[in-house]
Structure formats: structure tokens, C-alpha cells
Amino acid sequence: MDGLPLLKRVTHPGSHGFPDATFDYLFSVNAASRPALITPSDVSDHYPVTCDFNIKGENAPVPGPTYR
């Protein structure tokens, strides 16, 4: 959401005297991302934030099943 104007990065709409805010973030290491998509919704007090990531490097770990 870096570089987006405030109105485009609101993840928690203002209420009860508090202003709109950006409370939710996506962090990554060794990955490139497309711009985050914030979708206004009435389902929660926070808006859903989604983003596509591309993992960089040939040695990136691949998640697999965990057995105990």
C-alpha cells in the first residue's frame, strides 16, 4: 500500500469519533507483490486486504504436509 493516497489504503473505516485508518498490512521477504486490493465490506469492522505475491529465488521453500 506504499505510495497510495490515504483514501485508497483505509482498512478500518472510522466510527465512534475515530478517523479512517490503515491497521492491516501485508509483509513479505524475498517476494514481489502486486498492489494490495482493499474491498469495502460490512462483514467485519476491518476491510479484507488481498494481494498476489511472486516468490523470488530458486531456493524458495515449498510448503508441504507436516506429519507427527
- Domain contains 32: yes
Q: What is the reported pLDDT for 7?
A: 82
- What's the domain range around 43? 1-57
Cell of residue 13, nine digits: 473505516
* Residue 50 DSSP symbol: E
More confident residue, 41 or 64: 41
- Domain contains 25: yes
19-61: per-residue pLDDT in tens? 999 888 777 778 888 888 889 999 898 999 888 888 876 665 6
Measured over all CA atoms, what is the biggest interatomic distance in the chain, rounded to whole angstroms? 50
Domain total of the chain:
1
Cell of residue 14, nine digits: 472510522
**pTM strictly above 0.75:** no
What is the band of 6 on the pLDDT scale with cuts at 50, 70, 90? Answer: confident
Burial pattern 11-32, b for ≥16 Cβ within 10 A else e, equals bbeeeeeeeeeeebeeeeeeee
3-class secondary structure, 25: coil
- Domain contains 63: no
Cell of residue 34, nine digits: 502486486
